[in-house]
Every structure is written in C-alpha cells, then in structure tokens.
Structure 1
Amino acid sequence: MKKLSFILSIILLVGILAACGDKNESSNDKEKESESNALSEEKLVIGTTAGPQEQIMEKVVEVAAEEGLEIELKVFSDYILPNTALAEGDLDANSYQHKPFLDQFNEDHDTDLSVVGKTILNPMGVYSEEYDNFDDLPDGAKIGLPNDPTNGSRALYILEKAGYITLKEGKDENASIMDIEDNPKNLDFIELEAAQIPKQLSELDAAAINTNFAIEAGLVPTEDAIILESTDSPYVNYLVVRTENIEDPVVEKLVKAYQNDEVKAFIEEEFKGSMIPSWD
C-alpha cells in the first residue's frame, strides 16, 4: 500500500512539473509571437489610395528617409483593400480614412485596427450661389444634403457645430434629418446624390458638398464655402496600424515624419485648401 502511494505521488509530481513546463513554454511562445509581430524600425510598408493621398505620402516618404526610415508605398484604387491588407499583415500601416469609416470597417470585418495620428481633412463645405453668409439665408431656405448616410450625417454635424440646428443627443456622427430636434430657421433639407449637388446648386439656397465634387465644379473650399468643416471634425483622416503595434517605436517615427512642417507646407501649397493639415 505504501509502495502504491509512493508511485501515485511520483506520477502527481511529474504531472505538476509537466504542467509548469507547458505554462512556461506557452508564455515563452507568446513573448516570441509578440516580438515577431513588432514592426521593423528601419522599413515600413504603407498603403494609401491613388491621387492626393498618394501625393502626400510620397512627400512623407522623402521626409522619413531623412530620418533613417524607409517606406515602401503601395497604392490602392478602393477603400476596402488597404484595411484588409493591413489586417492580414501585408501592410504595416495605411493612410487614407477617417475614424467613423474605420470603426465601421472594424465592426463589419471583425478586425482590430487603430488610429495613431491625424493627417489631413478633406473639408466638406456649405456653398451658395446667392448668399455670402449662412445667416443671410431666408426662413425656410432649401438646403441640399448628400443622400448617403455617412455624408448626410456629416453635413448635419457641420450645421449643428455652426449653430444652425440641434441634433438628438448622441447622434452627431450618425444622424439623419429625422434626428433634428431644433431648426430655428426652418431649413428645408433636400437629400440628393452627392455627385449631382454642384449641378443643382443654382436651384437651392445652399448645399453641403464633398471636397472632391466641389473641386470638380471649380469651387475652392477655403475661399468659396460659407461654412467650412473645421479640423476638430471627427472626419479628419488618420494613420492606421494594427492595434498590437500602436506602441512600436517606429510608429511614433512614422507619425512624426507625417506631421512634419515640410509635409504641411507641401499640402498647403499643392492643394490650396482642398486638403487641410489637421494635426495642429
């Protein structure tokens, strides 16, 4: 009986030691995995979209190189693939989107991507062919709004921030015209296809127009808008990385390279107010 108890004790001890060994190995494996997922401090692969975002990132590449950081740029023609590629590890970061878009992407695709630094704002503006000041609009004025949920709520947010309407609490970033609580000027909101609004501006008292469509219509946001979205808007664009890499030293180096006076001067000179540096 004593011999049996001794054998059982030995088996139990071996089991405990094995379990401890498994825990240590698991802990070591996690540490190794964490180290392997860390970004290189010498080179990053960054995704962006074709056009202005690409032009700005090319300038960032120059500035980063001066600080010893090599950036390989990958250019995409849509808004989904840069996030998909980042989540799958084909990119180290991307630069092209605002946070409401990112939040929705994370929710829809079960990804874990985070913003790390402001970049630029493509300012939505309210324009009018007849009035130079929104205060001059008559009671019941016809106001054109983009009919898609994202840009429609963005336009309402701009009008609320300017003090012309009040939205239901908590509806700042996902509001519809049904969420307007107070409308002192009795503004008549007309929802239209965003791309068509500039062509219909003459039939409206004023309208909210996205920057790209405003520019196509010959409008300069910083000169022609009677209300211009401010850089504290939730719709500013960001540099984005996988959440696990937020504290990697190279991420700070990337943000610093983008938020550089040389890059700021390039944006202001090249885009004449159609894009605004938003990190000040």
Structure 2
Amino acid sequence: MKFKKILFASIMSGVLLLGGCGTKSADKTSTSSKEVTIKIMASVTPHTEILEHIKPVLKKEGINLQIISSDEQANESVRDKIVDANYDQHLPYLRSVAKEIHFDYSVLCAVDVEPIGFYSKKIKSIDELKNEAKILITNDPSNEYRMLVLLQSKGLIKLKDGISDFKATPKDIVDNPKNLKFIEVDPGLLTRNLPEVDGAIINTNRVLEAGIDPKTALFREDAKSPYANLVVVRKVDEKRPELQKLKAALLTDDVRKFINEKYGVAVVPVF
C-alpha cells in the first residue's frame, strides 16, 4: 500500500512537471507571435483610404497598422521617430526638403500618381481662356514647377531652358501669349479660391477632399507623370520585416483593383 502511494506521488509529480513545461512553451509561443505596430502618417484622400484597405491583410500577418491622417511635418515625424513611415509625397518634393531638414530617408515603394489638372468654374474648355486670365497655382516649389510644365505642354506658356531640380516660378516664363496672370497661394487654398479666378491647377488629393469631380478637369497630366506618391521610411529601417510586409501588402493586384474602381482617372496605380 505504501509502495502504491509513493508510485502515485511520483506520477503526479511528473504530470505537474510536464504541465509546467507545457505552460512555459505556450507562453514562449504567445510572446513570439506578439502583434507589431506600424505607425504611418498619410494624407486623408486617397492615401489613408488605401491604407485602411490593407489593414485586415496586415492584421493577419500580426501587424497593427496605425494610421495618422495628416500631412503636417510628415518627413520630420519620420526622422524624429514619431512615426515609422509616411505616404503623402512625390520624389521631387521629398528631395527638395530632405537636405534642409537632414532627413536620411529611403523610399520603401511607389504606389500611385494623382494627376494634377486644370479646373475652372467659369469656362468649359481651354479655348475659352481669355487674355490676362487669372490662374491659381501653388507656392510649393516642386509642385509649382509641375503645374507650369503642364501649362507648357498645352502651349499656354514656355519656360526658359535649363531649369533644374524641379524648381520654377512664373519669373521663369519666357513666352506667355495670353499674358496669363498667375496667383501663387498655399496648396490648401486652391480649391477654396477657385470660384474667384478663371482657373486653377490643383492636385487630385485636394480635389477629392473638396468634393470636386476629377473628371471635370479641362486637362490633366497623363499616367506617365514622374510624380508618383511614395511610402517613405528612415534609411536604417528599410529592411525591417514589418515594413517589408507593408510594402508587399500595398503592391498587389487587389490594391490596384481597389484604386482603379474607387478613384477612376483621379488616382493611377504605378506598380
């Protein structure tokens, strides 16, 4: 009888020991599968909406995508480790500010182009543009050049040769047959002040945010525009596994289909 009690106690000790090992193993597994958070800053339309579309995909990969819908100091926020990435700018703009703020960046991927277009509340075609018409353009250097190049492509102006670094202002116009009058304003004021002028060249994200139909543009950039919108990270972080998974989730047929169906001519996938 005593022998049976000793044997039973030994067996129970073994069971408890094995049970303890099993608990530790489960805890280890739980720790290894802990969810990782990526913080990304993005302009509201369309970038935040595109990121929201891939959140469930990343969730299955163990990644919580935290989206901050803003484009204020986006590069400084990545540089200062407030966020892990941003998605709201093209390469000419990024290059124009990176040296100034000492931002050692890496482009994770290019996702889309939002073709800028010429909009008007007063005319229905380019042929109706009168002499000395007032045209709104942005005062942002890289986008200002982009807008002037669009006007040049339509024969409305001619820029001087040899302009570099994607920078130009109306002072660089050497031929202006209609003597167009350019008013330079903050990008956020383009849609707001559109009714007061003969026309404005506006970035598509601003058009969408203002509820303007992008199909109403009198003319726009084509899909070959070099101004693709980028996901930007710190150079030292470009190989982080969770950021590579973010890249993989964005560059899919599903995301291409989502962009095409939701935005039509307003947003063009570049992958």
The aligned residue for residue 63 of structure 1 is 57
- Give the aligned partner of residue 260 of structure 1: 252
Give the equivalent residue in structure 2 for 1:100.
92
Q: After superposition, what is the alpha-carbon deviation per residue over 1:239-274, rounded to whole angstroms, capped at 9, x for unaligned?
A: 112234546676554333212222223234444554
CA offsets 1:155-205 (integer angstroms, 9 cap, x no match): 213223444322232247211000112334433323345544445545533
Q: Deviations over 1:73-112 (max 9, x none)?
A: 24254432x4344334564433222223322332122121
Q: Which runs of 5 or more residues in structure 2 are unaligned?
A: 1-34
Deviation string, structure 1 residues 16-68 (Cα, Å, up to 9, x no partner): xxxxxxxxxxxxxxxxxxxxxxxxxx9562412363322211222333456x4
Identity within the alignment, %? 34
| Alpha-carbon distance change, 198 to 76 in structure 1, aligned in 2, over 3 angstroms | closer
Equivalent residue runs for 1:12-161 within 5 Å = 45-49=38-42, 51-52=44-45, 53-65=47-59, 68=61, 70-75=63-68, 77-80=70-73, 82-89=74-81, 91-161=83-153
Aligned-residue CA RMSD in angstroms?
Answer: 3.3
- Counting matched residue pairs gives 235
Instruction: Summarize the Cα distance change of 1:143–1:84 in structure 2 as closer, same or farther, 3 Å threshold.
Output: closer
Contact 2:75 2:86 in 1 (8 A): yes
Which residue in 1 is equivalent to 2:204? 211
* Contact 1:44–1:92 (CA under 8 A) maintained in structure 2: no
Which amino acid counterpart does residue 242 of structure 1 have in structure 2?
R
- Using a 3 Å threshold, how does the CA distance of structure 1 residues 94 and 209 change in structure 2: closer, same or farther? closer
Instruction: Flag structure 1 segments of 5+ consecutive residues without an equivalent.
Output: 1-41
Q: Give the whole-Å Cα distance in 2 for the aligned partners of 1:174 and 1:86.
A: 25
TM-score when normalising by structure 1: 0.67
Relative to structure 1, the CA distance from residue 248 to residue 216 in structure 2 (aligned partners, 3 Å threshold; closer, same or farther) is closer
1:174 aligned to 2:170? no
Contact 2:116 2:202 in 1 (8 A): yes
